[in-house]
Structure 1
Amino acid sequence: MMTFLGSVWWLIVSLGVLVTFHEFGHYWVARRNGVKVLRFSVGFGKALWSRRGRDGTEYVLAALPLGGYVKMLDERDGAPVPPEQLSQAFNRKPVWRRMAIVAAGPAANLILCVALLWGMFVIGRPDYAPVVGHAERIAAEAGLQRGDTIEAVGDRETPTWNELQLALLPAALDRSDVELRVRDAGGDSERRTLALSQLSDELDDKQLLSAIGLAPRHALVPAVVGRVLPDSAAWGVLAEGDRITAVDGIRTDTFDQIGPLIQALGDSGGSGMIEVERDGDRLALEIVPRLTEDPERGEFWALGIQPQRGDPPPRDALQRYGPAAAVPAALRETAHLTGQLFGMIGRAFSGRVSVENTVAGPITIARAANAYAQQGPAWYLTILALLSLSLAILNLLPIPLLDGGHLLYYLIELVKGSPLSERAMVAGQYVGLALLASLMGLAFYNDILQLLYR
């Protein structure tokens, strides 16, 4: 219940901030160009609060917080415009002024994105260091080993594990090999090639990163028994809370080290000794692995134990800059995220990425905002910056009813030398309405799928 309420709250806060800045962009540039603004509304529907300013603008906070609008004086709205106010009507302004007013909304979101990322860098975003805890499959074939620090993917620096994942994802989606700059446990720097072209085309987009076989150090679980499965090889031998310190004389520190040692023990065809710490005592116990079959893994040797899960380890990396250095860092990050978002849009249109993983609805956004907010202010600023940038890009798409559609109309007007006919504009509005309805339907459909299959 608390997760649901938190998600609703952070959705309202996030949309409120993004919509307010977007509409303020339209409002501010309209006023600077001499256009009379009749209403500035955050949200749609019934007004919960309203106030009329000295400038004659009605400021409204409405019930449905899924958008907003700025209503300007315009002769095309049907209501008569007093002769003395005709010079303040939007439609009477030169086309380049109208274009500036329309483009100001997305521009405000772009500026907000930079400001939020600047704030994130100044506050400092805590994360985990990009240190390898375990490597298998493609990662192991590349020569990656426990303790390696991945410092860069291609030309992209990866100071944290989250940055590493974000850098690997586009290459994994494109099934393209990437070069890694790696510093091993001894401090030596070297280059490794991660053959992502080997990833199967049948893999779901959400499985790509795990299929690489790269596990972080912070995800390693101590070699402590959390549960012993009934009638298993370990039943009656090991107990919950046992810390396994060695298998057949080979030291173990983490749970993932136990599996390969058990396979080797089973392949040798005999019993082995497991050393454990139990209630302060050190014990050496004889055990015989049991051959087990799994639909995904096939046959393997197993003890029948599960790890003890505890709290995640403290974060050991921090992305932070001083106020001056954070400015170019925020600009670089905004440019990088813009390229990534356009890349995802291109992959969605080309079919390389499933649209269900590209178009998110309010439920998905609410859950993401809540999850990021729980990790601290810097992480919340990160998701808010990404949403602000996404809103700017979405509004610039050349779809009627969106800012990009209006800009398209005005570009045509510049070329023609006269406005589009009212009939053409009405037809465009219907097309835009249909496209937006389809997009919203897809977003809600994806939200429902996320709820059903999470």
Structure 2
Amino acid sequence: MLDFIGQALIYVVPFLLVLTLVVTIHELGHFWVARAFGVKVDRFSIGFGKGVLSRTDKHGIEWRLGWIPLGGYVKFSGDADPSSVPDSRGLEAMREEIAAHDGQGAEKDYFHFKPVWQRALIVAAGPFANFVLAVTIFTLLFSLIGAEIRPPRIVNVVPDSAAAEAGFQPGDLILRVNGRAVEDDVAVQRMVTLSAGDPLDFVVRRGEQDVALTATPRRVETQNPIAGPVRMGVLGVEMRPMPGEATHMRYPPHEAVWQGMKETWSVLETTVTYLGRIVTGRESGDQLSGPLGIAKASGALTNAAADVEASNGIRLANVLLTLISFAAILSIGIGFLNLLPIPVLDGGHLLFYGYEAVARRPLAANIQEMGYRVGLVLLVGLMLFATWNDLRKLSLFQFLGGLSS
């Protein structure tokens, strides 16, 4: 029983810490830009539910620590709920209510009466803050820890694989994939993983010559120690740098920022590519993960980082670095998710503001309400699908079947 509780804590606590950090930064993005434009704010909360700790500052903003550590939120004055975007009639009623309570002209401090471009920037600031967090984390890692660059040197070709059919040979050094220069094996693996069934054009250095090859990665199910069983594109090669080829680089601050931006873009590009392949039917979507999958991944990463043979101090540092890196990747995912043009999410608000900017009036309230209902259904459906994937990977159904037999 104690072992079960200990394992549960290892999986749950890191996930909650990372999620709370990422969501808090997201909400701070909204908050800082809103305050810069003079928007009146009622509350900023870390966590949900009843407040465990609470303090009200000189601006009348309540800073609250909720007892449910699943992120946080910022509540602007006049917001009935997170999806409240009134139409012209609703705005007029709100204006009269504010004037009766605070006096004429007081509505200028309320979010809904700010110019549409300011509201759009406030909404976009949340996802933008997530991307900034990721760039900042990657920048610190590249400058303080550095990165190992492993040239994509092929040391083995699996017989009867896609690589063997294409003519790859041991000793080949991959220079470009689909016209894009690659410097390390990670970049090659990312492109191959998301290209099952799609021909890829390679240029390899073989001796003194550059040789052009075309290979089509095959979809193969493999066991990932972090994500569990995954189906991905496989080329059929083993890559390992020759002695002296691998280098470890710690970047100066200005180069580390650039590398951090490149890494953030690479993760974002991979996410967009995968979702695009789902939409076009080239991927099944079975790799989408929900809260259970993310918690499992954070726990597995924590266990892996803690299992290194080193002193307790080094093991603790390794765990912290691993969770910080995981926070950067999760932050990119949350930032991207919130930019999707789905009502209820930030992207849905931006969609409505785009209409308002063109039509010079807010979208009708009944259409907005319908949009939010559809958006909520889509979002819940996506979460249920991701949770189904998580449960399947956790082998829960086989476990329950075994209990009933």
TM-score range normalised by the length of the shorter chain: 0.7 to 0.9
Conservation of the 8 A alpha-carbon contact between 1:10 and 1:369: yes
Conservation of the 8 A alpha-carbon contact between 1:132 and 1:147: yes
Conservation of the 8 A alpha-carbon contact between 2:177 and 2:200: no
Map of 1:367 onto structure 2: 296
Structure 1 residue 320: Cα displacement: 3.7
Map of 1:430 onto structure 2: 373
Q: Does 1:190 align with 2:213?
A: no
Provide, for residues 99-127 of structure 1, a one-character-per-residue CA deviation record: whole Å limited to 9, x for no partner: 11111111111111211221222222458
Conservation of the 8 A alpha-carbon contact between 2:175 and 2:202: no
Q: Does 1:113 align with 2:134?
A: yes
Structure 1 residue 73: Cα displacement: 0.8
Map of 1:439 onto structure 2: 382
Map of 1:214 onto structure 2: 237
SS of 1:59's partner is strand
Distance 1:105 1:15 in 2: 14
Map of 1:274 onto structure 2: none
Deviates more, 1:403-412 or 1:44-53: 44-53
Conservation of the 8 A alpha-carbon contact between 2:149 and 2:183: no
Q: Does 1:132 align with 2:61?
A: no
- Give the RMSD, CA atoms, in angstroms: 3.0
Conservation of the 8 A alpha-carbon contact between 2:196 and 2:233: no
Map of 1:83 onto structure 2: 102
SS of 1:215's partner is strand
Conservation of the 8 A alpha-carbon contact between 2:190 and 2:270: no
Q: Please point out which of 74, 91, 94 is paired with 1:70.
A: 74
Provide, for residues 275-332 of structure 1, a one-character-per-residue CA deviation record: whole Å limited to 9, x for no partner: xxxxxxxxxxxxxxxxxxxxxxxxxxxxxxxxxxxxxxxxx65454222211222222
- What one-letter code is carried by the residue in structure 2 that aligns with 1:427? M
Map of 2:364 onto structure 1: 421
Map of 1:5 onto structure 2: 9
Conservation of the 8 A alpha-carbon contact between 1:105 and 1:392: yes
Structure number, greater radius of gyration:
1
Distance 1:381 1:8 in 2: 16
Structure 1, unmatched stretches of 5+, are 219-315
Q: Please point out which of 274, 279, 286 is paired with 1:356.
A: 286
Distance 2:181 2:299 in 1: 28
Distance 2:148 2:365 in 1: 54
SS of 1:356's partner is coil
Change (3 A) 1:366 1:128: farther
Structure 1 residue 438: Cα displacement: 0.9
SS of 2:252's partner is coil
Structure 1 residue 338: Cα displacement: 2.6
Q: Does 1:340 align with 2:277?
A: no
- What one-letter code is carried by the residue in structure 2 that aligns with 1:348? I
- What one-letter code is carried by the residue in structure 2 that aligns with 1:387? L
SS of 2:68's partner is strand
Conservation of the 8 A alpha-carbon contact between 2:293 and 2:387: no
Provide, for residues 29-78 of structure 1, a one-character-per-residue CA deviation record: whole Å limited to 9, x for no partner: 11111111111122222333322222211122223333322100127669
Change (3 A) 1:168 1:380: farther
Conservation of the 8 A alpha-carbon contact between 2:179 and 2:201: no
SS of 1:354's partner is coil
Distance 1:189 1:452 in 2: 49
SS of 1:355's partner is coil
Distance 2:46 2:183 in 1: 38
Change (3 A) 1:159 1:24: same
Distance 2:45 2:79 in 1: 20
Distance 1:354 1:48 in 2: 43
Map of 2:337 onto structure 1: 394
Distance 1:128 1:371 in 2: 25
SS of 1:398's partner is coil
Distance 1:354 1:439 in 2: 13
Deviates more, 1:328-337 or 1:14-23: 328-337
Distance 1:156 1:111 in 2: 26
Q: Please point out which of 194, 198, 203 is paired with 1:175.
A: 198
Conservation of the 8 A alpha-carbon contact between 1:135 and 1:213: yes
Conservation of the 8 A alpha-carbon contact between 1:46 and 1:63: yes
- What one-letter code is carried by the residue in structure 1 that aligns with 2:192? L
Conservation of the 8 A alpha-carbon contact between 1:125 and 1:378: no
Q: Does 1:406 align with 2:349?
A: yes
SS of 2:55's partner is strand
- What one-letter code is carried by the residue in structure 1 that aligns with 2:298? A
Distance 2:337 2:173 in 1: 37
Change (3 A) 1:338 1:45: same
**Structure richer in helix, relative to its length:** 2
The number of aligned residues is 349
Distance 1:189 1:369 in 2: 44
Conservation of the 8 A alpha-carbon contact between 2:178 and 2:200: no
Change (3 A) 1:56 1:331: same
Q: Please point out which of 17, 27, 32 is paired with 2:31.
A: 27
Map of 1:327 onto structure 2: 257
Change (3 A) 1:433 1:156: same
Structure 2, unmatched stretches of 5+, are 82-92, 223-229, 306-317, 399-405
Change (3 A) 1:145 1:68: same
Conservation of the 8 A alpha-carbon contact between 1:160 and 1:317: no
Provide, for residues 376-426 of structure 1, a one-character-per-residue CA deviation record: whole Å limited to 9, x for no partner: 355544432222111111111111111111111111111221112222222
Provide, for residues 206-234 of structure 1, a one-character-per-residue CA deviation record: whole Å limited to 9, x for no partner: 34444x2223459xxxxxxxxxxxxxxxx
| TM-score with structure 2 setting the length | 0.76
Distance 2:321 2:190 in 1: 17
- What one-letter code is carried by the residue in structure 1 that aligns with 2:364? S
Distance 2:21 2:380 in 1: 24
- What one-letter code is carried by the residue in structure 1 that aligns with 2:332? L
Conservation of the 8 A alpha-carbon contact between 1:142 and 1:192: no
Map of 1:229 onto structure 2: none
Distance 2:231 2:357 in 1: 48
